[in-house]
Each structure stands twice: as structure tokens, then as C-alpha cells.
Structure 1
Amino acid sequence: MSLLNSIDRPHVLTAIETWDKAGGSNYMLVRGGVSTHVLLHAGREYDAAAIVGIAHGLATGNTLTPAEVPGGSAGASKALTRLGFQIRDDSPPAPQRVPGTKATTPRMPRAAAAPRATPRPRVAASDRIVDNLCPRCFIAMPATGICDQCD
């Protein structure tokens, strides 16, 4: 069961009212994130992921930031479409691939190699052995030569 299945249409409508009361952009400044999917309702545009996050809070008591919405803005778009809302996808188009050619991505120029840090010397376990142990309790003896535990 998806995390967003708990959201119903009334939750979304109440979330839209909450968005309008909060001023929308002010809400996004507080909660963070920007969606590439836009909810279209009553002639207005809303950030789909933010509305789903608010609606999830109304349904479960746990409001989600747009970054926490499962599937991101695409997941929010799916949930809203399932509930009968209209969505506009503002995602940038995927690069077109010509058949018979390899898909390549533009490469950034290589930066000069950063100097490597000097590795830390390894300390052998035998270097950590304490020579002066109490013969009774086998705890390391202090510089005084008198065991704090036994004497």
C-alpha cells in the first residue's frame, strides 16, 4: 500500500484552502522544495507535491515536505490524478535519441587532480600493548606504580 493512498479528495480540497490561507509562496519558503508538476484547480495553479504533503498531514497527522513525498512531484501527480484532479507536467523534456546512435551525456571538463592527502601511518596492535600491568587485576599501572584498583 502506497503512503499516499491515505489521501482522499476532501483532504486535497482542504489542503488547497490551507495553501491559499498561507499564501502559497510563503508556505513553500517554510516547507521547502519546488514541484515540476502543477495542480490546476478552479482556475488557479498549485504546487502538486506541496498540496499532497499538506493533504497527507490532514489524513495521517504527518505533513510531508515536497522532498519527502514518495516518488517526488511525479508521485504527487499520480496521487492527484487518481483522485480526479487535473495536473500539468512542467518537467523539462527528455533528450531525444536518434535510433542507431549511442546515448551520450555532455561531459564536464576535467578539473586538475587535487593533491592527495598524506595517508596516516598505521599503528600495529602490538604497539598498543601496555607493559606495566597490575599482577592482581591486570589493569594498566599508573606512573606511580601503585594500582588504583587493588591498593
Structure 2
Amino acid sequence: MSLLNSIDRDHVLTAMETWDAAGGANYMLVRGGVSTHVLMHHGREYDAAAIAGIAHGLATGRTLTPADIPGGGAGASKHLVRLGFDIRDDSPPAPQRVPGTRSSTPRAPRATTTRATTSRPRVAASDRVDKLCPTCFLALPATGICDNCA
């Protein structure tokens, strides 16, 4: 029997009201919005595991942390979906096994240093700033002496 079986839909709705009253949106900002399982309700977004933990506290008197929930955010999401809530899963896709490899765990792609794979946009040589004045941060002329600071 799962810890979350004591939660019903009314507990979750009350947990969302509690979350909103306590400034739960600020919690998401402090955490950097890193929740991978997001409960969506009436245009608002909630951390699914946190809401499930609060709902458990309303149902049983013992609030759960996301670490206490079996399966974490994914476990909370499954239970919330069973109760009729919408969940958005922002988890990164699981790495897929490449056929013909010996290893049972996929390897990370090798980092390459070719220009085609760099993430920085290309800048024309005429648009590059070679040196900046350390005082005013304007581009230095060919003389190397800042016209603004000299």
C-alpha cells in the first residue's frame, strides 16, 4: 500500500489553496523552477511532489517531503493523474541504447571541438572587438590607447 493512497482529490485541492496562500510560487522560483513533474490546475503550475506531500499532511497529519514519496515526483504524478489532475512531465528523455553496442548502459556523446558543434554564434572578423579599455570598456583603437580615457 502506497503512502499516497490516503490522499483524495479534495486533499489535493486544499493543498493547492494552502500552497497559493503560503506563496508557493516563490518556492518554485527559489528552487529555480526545477520541478520535473508539474501539476497544472486552472492555468497555474505546482510542484507535484510538494502538493502530494502537503495533501498527505492534510489527510494523515504527517506532511511528506518529495524525498519521502515513493518514486519521488514521478510517484506523486502517477497518483495525482489517478485522481484526475493534469501533469506535465519535464523530465529529460531517457537515453536510448544504440543497437550493436556491447555496453548495457549508453555512453554520453563525446565532446567535439569542431566549429559546427559549438553553441556560440559565428561573428564576422570585422565585427569582433579585439581589446576593450579596462576603465570605460570601449573598444580600443589600433594604438591601444583609449581615446575616451586618454
Between structure 1 and structure 2, the one with the greater Rg is: 1
Q: Which runs of 5+ in 2 are unaligned?
A: 110-150
**For residues 35-68 of structure 1, what are the alpha-carbon distances to aligned partners after superposition, in whole Å with 9 as ceiling and x for unaligned?**
3100010011100000000000000000011121
Cα pair 2:35 2:47 within 8 Å, conserved:
yes
1: CA distance between counterparts of 2:71 and 2:52?
Answer: 12
Calculate percent identity across the aligned residue pairs. Answer: 81
Q: Per-residue deviation at 1:106?
A: 4.0
Count the aligned residue pairs. 106
2: CA distance between counterparts of 1:49 and 1:104?
Answer: 29
**For residues 97-139 of structure 1, what are the alpha-carbon distances to aligned partners after superposition, in whole Å with 9 as ceiling and x for unaligned?**
22222343349xxxxxxxxxxxxxxxxxxxxxxxxxxxxxxxx
1: CA distance between counterparts of 2:14 and 2:101?
Answer: 50
Q: Per-residue deviation at 1:34?
A: 5.2
Q: Which residue of 2 aligns with 1:93?
A: 93
State yes or no: 1:41 paired with 2:37: no
Q: Which residue of 2 aligns with 1:5?
A: 5
Q: TM-score, normalised by structure 2?
A: 0.63
Q: Which residue of 2 aligns with 1:21?
A: 21
Secondary structure class of the residue paired with 1:68: coil
Q: TM-score, normalised by structure 1?
A: 0.63
Residues 48-57 or 87-96, more deviating: 87-96
1: CA distance between counterparts of 2:20 and 2:72?
Answer: 22
Cα pair 1:28 1:50 within 8 Å, conserved:
no
Q: Which residue of 2 aligns with 1:115?
A: none
Cα pair 1:35 1:50 within 8 Å, conserved:
no
Write the mapping of 1:1-150 to structure 2, written as runs, cut at 5 A: 1-27=1-27, 35-102=35-102, 103-106=105-108
Q: Which runs of 5+ in 1 are unaligned?
A: 108-151
Task: Please give the root-mean-square deviation of Cα atoms over the aligned residues, in Å.
Answer: 2.4
Q: Per-residue deviation at 1:26?
A: 4.3
Q: Which residue of 1 aligns with 2:126?
A: none
Q: Per-residue deviation at 1:25?
A: 4.0
Cα pair 1:6 1:60 within 8 Å, conserved:
yes
Secondary structure class of the residue paired with 1:63: coil
Cα pair 1:7 1:59 within 8 Å, conserved:
yes
